[in-house]
Amino acid sequence: MADGMTQHCDLCKRLRLSLHWHIKSKNMTAVVQLILASLTGVAVALIATYLPSIWRPWFGRPSLESYAPGFNLVLAPQKALEEKPPLHGEALQALKVALEMLNDGKRDKALRLFKQAEALSPHHPDILLHYGEFIEEEDIIHAEHLYVRALAVSPGNSRALANRGRTLPKVRQLDQEMLDKIDGKRDELFRIPKGSLAMKRAVTEAYYQHIYHTNAIEGNTMTLSMTRAVVETRMAISGKSILEHNEVLGLDEAMKFINGSLLQKQEKITVDDIREIHRRVLGHAHPLEAGRYRTTQVYVSDHVPPSPADVEHHMNEFNDWLLSREPEMLHPIEFAALAHYKLVYIHPFTDGNGRTGRLVMNSILMRAGFPPVIIRYQDRHDYYEFLNIANHGDVRPFIRFVARCTERTIDEYLSVTTIYPVGHSKHPELTDAHDLNHEGDDKWPRLKPYI
């Protein structure tokens, strides 16, 4: 009897012990599963973060059309597209007549009517598609741009998708050929001897040219000769305001900072560098606002920049982009133009955003071996128009504009350093005329700034 009770107690103990270890084992299994799940989540996050930077260099740099609505920008172009044009009916009527003219073989009249229809209703997909198809053979780049605008309004439009799919490869090729051509001219510029007196004179001239043109774009009425006198002598010009004098001095200080500090820097350009540039641009004209983010809302034509409360957040995102791998996979001209556009879109400062943006653009170009580019006063309307087009989702026209300015700049350097035979026609004389229609302003002295 006693032996039976002992065996029964031993069995109970073994059962309790087995149950205890079973429960403990289940708890341990749950813990292990939880740890494994956490590790898996971390691994997935790391792969998602770093895998693009590994495979992108192997599969080519990203194409610009992938950045169409802002290239990771903090913009919402759809707002502009949602506005209903007040002349929608008139635009469709102009389109109807244009198609009739086209059927009758009257292409010149049809072209004028297509342009009129687009002006009356710039975001109507049918108008954009018909107009693009009409000009595709003569101007495939503009046609493809119209298809992009149509897709921005109607992303699922099969006709727009087919048209863009047909034209995009050709446009990519043309863009790449343009950049390759500019690279070749830059290499030719490198072969000019460092001690060339002609080059030194061109660089000096370009320094004053940049200050003159970039201030003139913003409304400064100083002429080229006045600008030079203020920089060289620090003397006042009769009849010109203190503000205009200070704007010239501010550009001079900013360009000296870029030459003496920023171009020697091995690290990437950051938002802190941009604020230092702005601190000098406005250091004489508006010292209390220099280098500081704005605290009030500003308006730039029909573009409304982000609110003051969001400026710092957007600038932090901009800084992350500057430090990322993406700019490294772009051509320097593309990188410089995009950096300029991003900055002026955010419009982080109360004043001086355009001047600072152009200086940042040139800093990037010069660090890549290109001469600094002058956007001329005469070209300011195109400049603003291409920035406005970028606000509506296609930044490539602005990049092409910067590329053309870069090529013209290099051509001018090559021209002034070329020895011409006796009897060759002279270059136009240097002029300080503050006039859009002055032909002399369109010639060689549009040279490279700061060195």
Distance CA 163, CA 147 (A): 7
Active site residue 22: no
Q: What is the DSSP string of 381-431?
A: HHHHHHHHHHHTT--HHHHHHHHHHHHHHHHHHHHHTSPPPTTPPPPPPP-
**Residue whose C-alpha is closest to residue 406's, from 439, 440, 432, 375:** 375
The DSSP bridge partners found for residue 303 are: 300
Half-sphere exposure of 357 (CA within 13 A, CB side): 24
The DSSP bridge partners found for residue 300 are: 303
What would you measure as the largest C-alpha separation in the chain, in angstroms? 135
Q: Residues 6 or more apart from 256 whose CB is under 8 A from it?
A: 450
Considering the candidates 145, 314, 331, 347, report the single residue annotated as catalytic: 347
46: left (phi over 0), alpha (psi -120 to 50) or beta: alpha
Q: Using only C-alpha atoms, what is the Rg of the chain? A: 31
3-state secondary structure of 216: helix
Catalytic residues: 347
